[in-house]
Amino acid sequence: MRKSHPLRRVVLATAATVSGVVLLLSLKPSSDPGAAQAAAPGAGAAQEAAQGGAGAVVSGTMTGDAAQTQYGAVQVRITVVENKITKAEAVQAPKGGTSTQKTELAVPKLNAAVVARQSANIDMVSGATYTSEGYKKSLQSAIDKANASAGASQGQGQGSGSAQAAGTFTGDAAQTQYGAVQVRITVAGGKITKAEAVQAPKGGTSDQKTQLSVPKLNQEAVAAGSADIDSVSGATYTSEGYKKSLQSALDKAKAGKGASSGSGNAGGSASGSSSGSSAGSSGSSGAAQAKTVTGSVEQTQYGPVQVRITVAGGKITKAEAVQAPKGGTSDQKTQLSVPKLNQEAVAAGSADIDSVSGATYTSEGYKKSLQSALDKAGV
């Protein structure tokens, strides 16, 4: 009879246990998602920030809702490229007194933290608790808008530079400490082809700052194709107002609400759908019908200016001032400037004309009324 050795049974049992453990480990997933996320706090945050759904690729500029704090509003804009936040900035932040110092201290750190973490799960900046909390709330709002743009090639929550509609779009006037700023853009082929400020601060040093900053901002808007442009040093308030109005114009372009054309197409014939009565009142020009449109009355320091234009085939064929400053030296300035302005309006086919030296106020009023007429005509 063969005897069973106790030691042998122990060895066999131990071997079986080890084999079972090895088998269980071989069936466990090769990576633990929870552990991987804990090891890398930023991992997967890009998806949280802008994935917008399975397989969706989101790119664009999204502006969060303004978050009110005890010391002022905070509003954050993010730039997303292929589901990653590449830039974060505060378009509004508390100002005045110690708030300015706290903003200058906190915002750059918060911006950097957003890009690093790819989410609103960022640490507050010590000494700027309220600003940090407002920042995070507005940031989350921007992220939510990015997520809502699932399936779109660009974020549609707040608009990006590549507007789909074509035409001329005028943004809302943005009030600044030194005056209103309002931007008009021309969009063609999904790109900004022209940007201009139809309103900007004036008077005293504001004239110099406007002349310094606006041309640069116009160029940057066209180059960037979005409102994600740098402020001009020495003209911070004007720059911020410009960007806000520019973003408003981009939003309108995305919505297809052209300021100068109901269909958003500024390049077509301005009077292609004009009725016979319109042609009868101002004559016809070959196959294209002509119409006469009068712009708004613009008040200047020396009196009102109002412009009337005749449009045919999408072009200005005649321009005239039906009102202009009168009396004293105003008569001379009007006689000097208006004929030149009329000629330039016809030649340029737009309100983007030079002011006449020595008649600045009349020239500015003329251009505003001319633009009003162009908007009505759909040119």
pLDDT single digits (tens) 178-210: 889 999 898 887 788 889 998 999 888 888 889
Predicted confidence at residue 139, as pLDDT, reads: 92
pLDDT at 103 over 90: yes
Tokens 């378009």 found at:
91
Q: Which residues contact 172 (CB under 8 A, 6 or more apart)?
A: 182, 244, 245, 248
pLDDT single digits (tens) 23-62: 444 444 433 433 333 333 333 444 444 444 444 667 778 8
* Burial of residue 261, with CB atoms counted within 10 A of its CB: 0-12 exposed, 13-18 middle, 19 or more buried: buried
User: DSSP state, 232?
Assistant: P
Closest CA to 318 of 283, 351, 346, 353: 346
pLDDT single digits (tens) 264-282: 333 333 333 333 333 343 3
pTM over 0.85, yes/no: no
Closest CA to 117 of 35, 40, 36: 40
* Burial of residue 238, with CB atoms counted within 10 A of its CB: 0-12 exposed, 13-18 middle, 19 or more buried: buried
pLDDT band at 171 (very low <50, low <70, confident <90, very high): confident
Q: What is the mean pLDDT of the chain?
A: 76
pLDDT at 341 over 90: yes
pLDDT band at 148 (very low <50, low <70, confident <90, very high): confident
